[in-house]
Structure 1
Amino acid sequence: MSQSGAFITAVLDWANDQGIGFKDIASLGNKAVLSETDFMQAWADDPDTNVILGYLEGVDDGREFIDDAREVTQDTPAVVVKSGRTEAGAQAASSHTGTIAGSEAAYEAGFKQAGVVRAENVQELFDFARALDGLPMPDSEDVAVITNAGGPGVMATDAVGDSRLSMASFEDDTIDALQGSMPDEANVYNPVDVIGDAEIDRFRTAIDTVLADEHVGCALVLSAPTAVIDYTELSGVITALQEKHNKPVVTCLMGGERTEQATDVLGDAGIPNYFDPARAIGSLDALAVQREVESRDYQAPTAFDVDRDAARDILEDAADRGATRLGVEAMDLLDAYGIPTPTGDVVDSPDAARRVARDIEGDVVMKIVSPDILHKSDIGGVKVGVETDAVADAYEDLITRATNYQPDATILGIQVQEMVDVDAGTETILGMNRDPQFGPLLLFGLGGIFVEILEDTSVRVAPVSEREAGDMIDDLDSAPLLRGARGRDPADEAAITEAIQRLSQLVTDFPAILELDVNPLLATGDSATALDVQLTIDPDEL
């Protein structure tokens, strides 16, 4: 299926030369009547359709696409290339989350949640399709490389490092068997280099031995042309051994005209041949993606017991006073949905500040509350470690600073809050940006001052299940920091996961919330606590 008719005509012309056939082709056009999900559902029910391919420029209803496509992709692989990958959707965003989670991130997250295998270009579209059409699913993501050429073998190893795959670690029996059958100059570890003088029997022995290893989930057989190897004969060996072991094998028989007959033999057995080792590994990676998709156990999002009426009152009060941007004065919004926050309150007098401080054990933090002053610390609008006896004076000082800085600013009061030791945990960010196609996009990652520098974040379309919330943690390069790397105390992942789900429920319940940042969400060994919040609302949606 394609949103471009011209693309279809070009593909048909090219595919005819490549010997690639299609059961059905649909030109989606402007999707006035039928959409991509309609065709996906129809083809999923068709026993003669093995793989669905798509060229898309956009989807109209992202949530519907995810829900419908994930049912299809459990049994029928779908590979999609999407054009228009720009940051236009993020340019107008004003929050950290809005800047990072732009339109491209929405499609990336949506396709992932839908179980769609994403191709970056037309070449990948058909590379992946060939592998998904003809090869069995791997038992693991551990790949073996068997080669007669050292350089291309290293290239293949590099490509594995860039993918979700891993180089398989052979069993001792496999290494012993290879050492007993290969010349001394050969490399019997992965990648297995049978060296350039290898004839068919040496290749056969190496491939058979490696595929028999339980640690090997899939394999790449790679060969440069030599005087002693016949590609057509080698292709027959490869097809027979794949059938024997029922493990996916792709090939990289490098060369020109001498590869043509071998490619036909391999193709008849559903084994794709590629000139570039990276393309071959990419196709095995697509198989690994589909394997993960088919093994998913989809869960419904958890419905937490929350105070939706209290949350609505907070948002409506803001709308009534004409506010579209809220800060710490909206901390009670998080409380209403069960996201932990420090003890405290927003007050409008020195006496009220003193009363709140007396109920808090230890020193307090005090912040200006004003929708017109976003960067409060820049003007000295935050005081840390204020003793109870000094709270009233600190209140007056903060109000003076705010009015001197911006006389026409709306001052809602001062937040008095318990002090939290940020060094006792890891600062993370939890946020949401509302995408026009997919709706609320959740973002989680390393927070504090590092969010825009490191950009180590994960995005999902809300609502999310417990598993999907946990996957957002797994996605992070910095996940080891949350799990106790370098002697750090591990964070409470269950608390983080629950906070993600609760925010997911909040932004799903209230479409009026356009953007929201909890930064930082402090993750400690026993909690995940929101220390600050900013959000943008659309009063017309309330």
Structure 2
Amino acid sequence: MSIRHLDSLFDPASVAVIGASERPASVGATVWRNLSRGRYAGPVYAVNPKHRRLGDAPCYPNVEALPQVPELAVICTPPATVPGIVAALARAGTRAAVVLTAGLDAAQKQAMLDAARPALLRILGPNGLGLLVPHSGLNASFAHIDAQPGELAFISQSGALVTAMLDWADAQGIGFSCLASIGEHADVDFGDLLDYLATDARTRAILLYVESVEAARKFMSAARAAARNKPVIVVKSGRSEQGQRAAASHTGALAGSDAVYDAAIARAGMLRVDSLQDLFLAAETLARFRSNRGEALTVLTNGGGAGVMAADAAAQVGVPLAELAPDTLAKLDAVLPPNWSHGNPVDIIGDAPVERYVRALETLCADPAAQAVLFIHAPTAIVPSADIARALAQVPKSATARLMGCWLGGHGVAEARQMFKAAGIADYPTPEEAVRAFAMLRAYHRAQAELIEAPSAAVLIEPPDVAAARALVQEALAAGRTMLSEPEAKAVLDAYRIPVVSTRRVPPEPQAAVEAAAAIGYPVALKILSPDLTHKSDVGGVALALDGPEAVREAAEAMLARVRRLRPEARIEGYTVQAMASPAHARELIVGATVDRVFGPVILFGHGGTAVEVLADRAVALPPLNEPLARSLIQRTRVARLLQGWRDTPGARIEAIQAVLIAVSQMLADIPELAELDINPLLANEDGVVALDARIRLDPTGPAGAAHFAIRPYPAELAETVEWNGQTITLRPIRPEDEEAHVEFLSHLDPEDIRMRVFYSRRTMERSELARLTQIDYMREMAFIATAPGPDGQPRTLGVARALADPDNEEAEFGIIVRSELKGTGLGHLLMDKLIRYLRAHGTQKLVATVLRENQRMLALAQELGFQPSAEQPDPETVAIELPLN
């Protein structure tokens, strides 16, 4: 990933248009007009060997003839010319180029990239609309209109959608920090732009139109970092995928790529919307209402019908209406006529004067339950709508921050609608759109909350027998098999501590099945064993609840004959006989895993059984999973409500289901050859879970494994134990489970030590700040903690050293702090040595920090480790230090 020279793309000191023209309706002419006649204040140069002048401006024959090196170039020339032009720009020292040219073949694109790479010239495109940065007046595009300055960034793979967004935003009065069409994203892609915009002070929210993602880990790393800083909203095209590949398991068939995109977007803390219309709705909401965190909606209206429409829309999308406090209802009684609705929606009646609107809104905003108020107004002849809007827009900011507007009608409410927009109040044309926008906001806040979830440190999970599982896998692959038998698959589950029913494998002889059943105990289930029959029940290969020897014998004989008749080509290896598990109150679930072609290993959960495809109740998540993420996966399904229990049916043991999901996550990390897994059904009740059936397909190329996760899992291999001051301590990467211990660690630090480390003395932190410290992205950040048993025998944190690398991994800024009573004991040196060794191996080029001059202990430690003062010092109170690592 790289943000190098992206500042030259978004804030160039000068621009050249290569292929500038006067030919009507040409790309070169449009780009030249947008740049030369726009608000951009820097020098703009035209390059075209066919012209000496374009209007009043000189036109240069080539890059070499330009009077100065342009920081940014916009290329609108035929495909064959692009690699040579990029090479000339790179030699001259140009930092970035927007390639609008379409039709470059693979060889031409590669030649273009090869020409740019030595000079680190960044390329946006090819085959895009271009780039607009309204704050500086830069319009390096062939868009038909310019953009207004604002706080939204819009990044799109489709140039047409950029122009659509421009039209919509112009009509709505919404401005942008930038709009970029990435086209074929040969160089600059979503990951690069998310990294850049995450720290862009002018950008408050990022909107993405995504058709495809190639570098999944890069995209996820950048998206998670950006979503922690500001809202990121995604519209992803292609919800249905025609011609989905055939798969050997339910999971492989059901976990389509769009479901995986859903999972990836949610895991990154972003919000996915379904359409461009919803993207526009989300943009309006985030521009004007993003700080509101209400979970329930209060409707204030002058028309009962409009209130009912809003209530119906809320019920349809699962938005609750707020339960108003009795005191609030009493206060409304005092300011409203006797025939008001006496509930939510609050109908203040169509003859309401301006004062009634104001008093009703102020009363609602005094109720903590009414965090979000949707105001719906139908025009009447009693009071002009503009008078109402003017009065409501002037109520205290604490009230308008809770307010969403919906002015029903057209010309009669146009002035009122404009007043709301001018006051920064989100406004929607219909109650349904307003409610849908509020539902999106709730979903966004839930995704954000998931980013700061942390599992309990007290949960102990028995380690799996990885060696046993891998031995089964290698034995099958050595025999040339890619499908494990059912007993083998269950043995793998057992190795990962997933409860399975007792199962025996016997030859294809009915008497052998009878003997196995007697040994297990009746009743039993009998299944045909064949590597060619993935779904045995489809051919009558399953018999349940067999309660005696004759029943087993008859079922075995009939099953063998039926399968040989229906699938004569199938290889019959025998039967499996298993205890008939029918626990009371059991719900049938499915847990599975497969490998997505973009995001790598994924995990599926849902309603199981033979009707799994018909019910289509499932959700997908990206590994690695922990308790909160496993719980969230379960809650995204309809079967989650059944798991809670009803009437005299107790709830299922959710912790046991979570443990299965976490075990499958670990299995995917440990066994690269695991291509597909089905556990169906997994029976769950109040006592726990048990797997009745399991299928595992292998792939010798190893498409799974932690190295192929879209999100880098916890690097347990970096943990080590060392001797320090006569005791053994552990140095390891920090993990989300350390949050509680980290709170205790911070609470015992001396305020002066904290001030020396972070330049302020606060010892408490918001939950979101703690999450940033313990839930790190191991792709770009590392924090090593030192732990040792405390007085209670539980591990406690002694110190932490962390480093955050820039997206290019060129430079990492470090920080270190140890318990105040442990200063001067050498612990800091141990932690820093560990951090430096890791960063060197990770390819980081330089380690830097800014230290208070009075922090002599830290400066002495840095000198011991080989740090030197930087060439440039920011201010007299601090010292910038650096350590080359290459």
Q: What TM-score, normalized by structure 2, do the two folds share? A: 0.57
Q: Describe the SS at the equivalent of 1:262.
A: helix
Q: Are 2:322 and 1:205 aligned?
A: no
- Structure 1: distance between partners of 2:333 and 2:357: 14
Q: How does 1:456-535 map to 2 (within 5 A)?
A: 456-535=617-696
Higher Rg of the two aligned structures: 2
Q: Describe the SS at the equivalent of 1:540.
A: coil
Q: Are 2:304 and 1:150 aligned?
A: yes
Residue aligning to 1:140: 294
- Structure 2: distance between partners of 1:123 and 1:392: 60
Letter in 2 for 1:101: A
Letter in 1 for 2:633: M
Q: Are 2:314 and 1:314 aligned?
A: no
Residue aligning to 2:228: 74
Of the candidates 378, 384, 400, which is equivalent to residue 230 of structure 1? 384
8 Å CA contact 1:342, 1:529 repeated in 2: yes
Q: What displacement does 1:173 show?
A: 0.7
Q: Describe the SS at the equivalent of 2:156.
A: coil
8 Å CA contact 1:130, 1:270 repeated in 2: no
- Structure 2: distance between partners of 1:524 and 1:327: 27
Gap change, CA 1:337 and 1:125, over 3 Å in 2: same
- Structure 2: distance between partners of 1:413 and 1:268: 76
Q: Which ranges of structure 2 fall in alignment gaps of 5 or more residues?
A: 1-154, 704-886
- Structure 2: distance between partners of 1:230 and 1:417: 77
Residue aligning to 1:32: 186
1:116-168 residue CA offsets vs partner (Å, 9 max, x unmatched): 12222222212211221222533431110001122222111122112342101
Q: What displacement does 1:410 show?
A: 2.3
Q: Describe the SS at the equivalent of 2:175.
A: coil
Q: Which ranges of structure 1 fall in alignment gaps of 5 or more residues?
A: none
Moved more, 373-382 or 218-227: 373-382
Gap change, CA 1:307 and 1:377, over 3 Å in 2: same
Gap change, CA 1:123 and 1:150, over 3 Å in 2: same
Of the candidates 315, 322, 325, which is equivalent to residue 483 of structure 2? 325
Q: How does 1:184-195 map to 2 (within 5 A)?
A: 184-195=338-349
Q: Are 2:435 and 1:281 aligned?
A: yes
Q: Are 2:196 and 1:42 aligned?
A: yes
8 Å CA contact 2:624, 2:666 repeated in 1: yes
- Structure 2: distance between partners of 1:33 and 1:495: 45
Letter in 2 for 1:196: G
Give the aligned length.
542
Letter in 2 for 1:335: D
Residue aligning to 1:430: 591
Q: Are 2:463 and 1:305 aligned?
A: yes
8 Å CA contact 2:508, 2:573 repeated in 1: no
8 Å CA contact 1:263, 1:272 repeated in 2: no
- Structure 1: distance between partners of 2:284 and 2:543: 62
Q: Describe the SS at the equivalent of 2:373.
A: strand
Moved more, 258-267 or 462-471: 258-267
Q: Are 2:269 and 1:115 aligned?
A: yes
1:160-188 residue CA offsets vs partner (Å, 9 max, x unmatched): 11234210111001111112221122212
8 Å CA contact 2:379, 2:413 repeated in 1: no
Of the candidates 253, 258, 266, which is equivalent to residue 407 of structure 2? 253
- Structure 1: distance between partners of 2:224 and 2:453: 9
- Structure 1: distance between partners of 2:585 and 2:306: 49
Letter in 2 for 1:501: I
Moved more, 222-231 or 455-464: 455-464
Q: What TM-score, normalized by structure 1, do the two folds share? A: 0.91
Of the candidates 480, 485, 496, which is equivalent to residue 337 of structure 1? 496
Letter in 1 for 2:643: L
Moved more, 110-119 or 317-326: 317-326
- Structure 1: distance between partners of 2:506 and 2:396: 72
Gap change, CA 1:228 and 1:407, over 3 Å in 2: closer
Residue aligning to 2:206: 52
8 Å CA contact 2:526, 2:552 repeated in 1: no
Letter in 2 for 1:409: A
Letter in 1 for 2:631: G
1:16-71 residue CA offsets vs partner (Å, 9 max, x unmatched): 34322211222212222222122112211122211111111111234543343223
- Structure 2: distance between partners of 1:148 and 1:385: 64
Residue aligning to 2:418: 264
Residue aligning to 1:85: 239
- Structure 2: distance between partners of 1:326 and 1:109: 28
Q: What displacement does 1:501 show?
A: 1.3
8 Å CA contact 1:490, 1:524 repeated in 2: yes
Moved more, 364-373 or 517-526: 364-373
1:175-204 residue CA offsets vs partner (Å, 9 max, x unmatched): 111122211222121111111111111111
Q: How does 1:393-404 map to 2 (within 5 A)?
A: 397=557, 402-403=563-564
Q: What displacement does 1:390 show?
A: 6.4
8 Å CA contact 2:676, 2:698 repeated in 1: yes
Moved more, 66-75 or 382-391: 382-391
Q: How does 1:89-108 map to 2 (within 5 A)?
A: 90-108=244-262
Q: Describe the SS at the equivalent of 2:239.
A: coil
- Structure 2: distance between partners of 1:324 and 1:384: 27
Q: Describe the SS at the equivalent of 2:650.
A: coil
Gap change, CA 1:286 and 1:396, over 3 Å in 2: closer
8 Å CA contact 2:518, 2:549 repeated in 1: no
Residue aligning to 1:453: 614
Letter in 1 for 2:526: M
8 Å CA contact 2:594, 2:602 repeated in 1: yes
Considering Cα pairs closer than 8 Å and 6+ residues apart, tell me whether 1 or 2 has the greater RCO. 1
Q: Which has the higher helix share?
A: 1
- Structure 1: distance between partners of 2:311 and 2:247: 40
- Structure 2: distance between partners of 1:51 and 1:377: 51
Q: Which has the higher strand share?
A: 2
Gap change, CA 1:409 and 1:13, over 3 Å in 2: closer
Gap change, CA 1:156 and 1:506, over 3 Å in 2: same
Letter in 2 for 1:318: A
Q: What displacement does 1:404 show?
A: 5.8
Gap change, CA 1:227 and 1:323, over 3 Å in 2: same
8 Å CA contact 1:137, 1:288 repeated in 2: no
- Structure 2: distance between partners of 1:415 and 1:217: 59
Gap change, CA 1:306 and 1:198, over 3 Å in 2: same
Gap change, CA 1:396 and 1:233, over 3 Å in 2: closer
Gap change, CA 1:388 and 1:413, over 3 Å in 2: same
Q: Describe the SS at the equivalent of 2:180.
A: coil
- Structure 2: distance between partners of 1:331 and 1:487: 32
- Structure 2: distance between partners of 1:283 and 1:107: 21
Q: What displacement does 1:115 show?
A: 1.6
Q: Describe the SS at the equivalent of 1:265.
A: helix
Q: Describe the SS at the equivalent of 1:434.
A: strand
8 Å CA contact 1:366, 1:382 repeated in 2: yes
Q: What displacement does 1:226 show?
A: 0.9
Of the candidates 365, 387, 394, which is equivalent to residue 525 of structure 2? 365
- Structure 2: distance between partners of 1:109 and 1:41: 21
Moved more, 530-539 or 408-417: 408-417
Q: Describe the SS at the equivalent of 1:411.
A: coil
1:196-249 residue CA offsets vs partner (Å, 9 max, x unmatched): 111111111111111211111201101011112333332233333361346431
- Structure 2: distance between partners of 1:216 and 1:495: 38
RMSD: 2.8
Q: Are 2:168 and 1:7 aligned?
A: no
